[in-house]
Amino acid sequence: MMLSFAKMHGLGNDFMVVDGVTQPIFLNESQIIKLGDRHRGVGFDQLLLIEPPQQPDLDFQYRIFNADGSEVEQCGNGARCIARFVRNVGLTWKHKIRVGTMKGVLNLQIMRNGLVSVDMGEPRLEPGDIPLRYAQKELFYHVNLDGIDYQFGSVSMGNPHCVLTVDNVDETDVDKIGRQLTEHHLFPEGTNVGFMQKVSDSEIRLRVYERGVGETQACGTGACASAVIGRLQHQMENKIRVYLPGGHLHIDWGGVGETLKMMGPAELVYQGFIEL
């Protein structure tokens, strides 16, 4: 079978985007891993699959698979690419699009300046919602790795995030600490691990070790998580600019009980076909 797809990226976090509305398709884990191979396949951090909506008030269903084949709940950079993709291929002409994901509904809006704004919903801070094995909600959680104590904040943006504040992201061993935390028993479903450096009350530098992938050039939900933790732990402002290796995102969060908005670019690289 020939599968039509688009290669897209959001700040270098790259995706294979598949229209599962006009070409109904089931991809198993080993097919996804093969497609994700950067030498023998298309290569991507995540594969995004668009399917018909499961509720009448939605435009589409949006499914996300990490490069290791695991299906996950949320992807912020991917959500912006989905908004562009469904318009590019003519699945909709709307500028405001509602998509269902494994964990709730996302409202996407293509702005006049070409950027895409996503209402990511309410950040979830209860350990049971993340999920995080801790008896109660804390501002700072603690973990010991190889005899060193680390403190972190944790939040679910639909998917689990653990955020550590560091002095300098360039001097942090993202790979080693990220790998240890993503597989740590404190996180029964694994976690994405963000390393944030506070630059000012409204700016963060961030590197993210993603669950199921490794370090990526950018992580949208990671940027949202760092802004939430930055506001709660470091009293940062509502509007925060997050600088990632691949570029920056604008995050706007009023505080607990409010939904969070993320705005940034989404780019088409090419469209193609691949034999399954």
Ligand X SMILES: N[C@@H](CCC[C@H](N)C(=O)O)C(=O)O
The beta strands (E) that lie in the chain are given as 2-10, 13-19, 46-51, 60-66, 71-72, 96-101, 104-110, 116-119, 141-145, 148-156, 160-165, 192-200, 203-210, 214-216, 239-244, 247-253, 260-264, 267-275
Indicate if 75 belongs to the active site: yes
Q: Which of 9, 13, 32, 36 binds ligand X (CB under 6 A)?
A: 13
CB of 64 to ligand X, least distance (A): 6
Is 66 one of the binding residues for ligand X (CB under 6 A)? yes
CB of 90 to ligand X, least distance (A): 25
How is residue 191 written in tokens?
Answer: 């976690």
Q: Which of 83, 86, 67 is nearest to 15 (CA)?
A: 67
Q: Which of 72, 99, 186, 196 binds ligand X (CB under 6 A)?
A: 72
Residue 215 or 237: the one with the smaller Cβ distance to ligand X is 215
Q: SS3 for 38?
A: coil
Q: Which of 261, 255, 195, 190 is nearest to 228 (CA)?
A: 255
CB of 216 to ligand X, least distance (A): 6
Indicate if 224 belongs to the active site: no
CB of 118 to ligand X, least distance (A): 10
Is 248 one of the binding residues for ligand X (CB under 6 A)? no
Site for ligand X in 175-234 (CB under 6 A): 192, 210-213, 216, 219-221
Residue tagged active-site, from 75, 81, 162, 224 = 75
Residue 236 or 249: the one with the smaller Cβ distance to ligand X is 249
Q: Which of 194, 125, 137 is nearest to 166 (CA)?
A: 194
Q: Contact 96/109 with Cβ under 8 angstroms?
A: yes
Positions in the binding site for ligand X (CB under 6 A): 13, 45-46, 66, 72, 75-78, 159, 192, 210-213, 216, 219-221
Residues with a known catalytic role: 75, 219
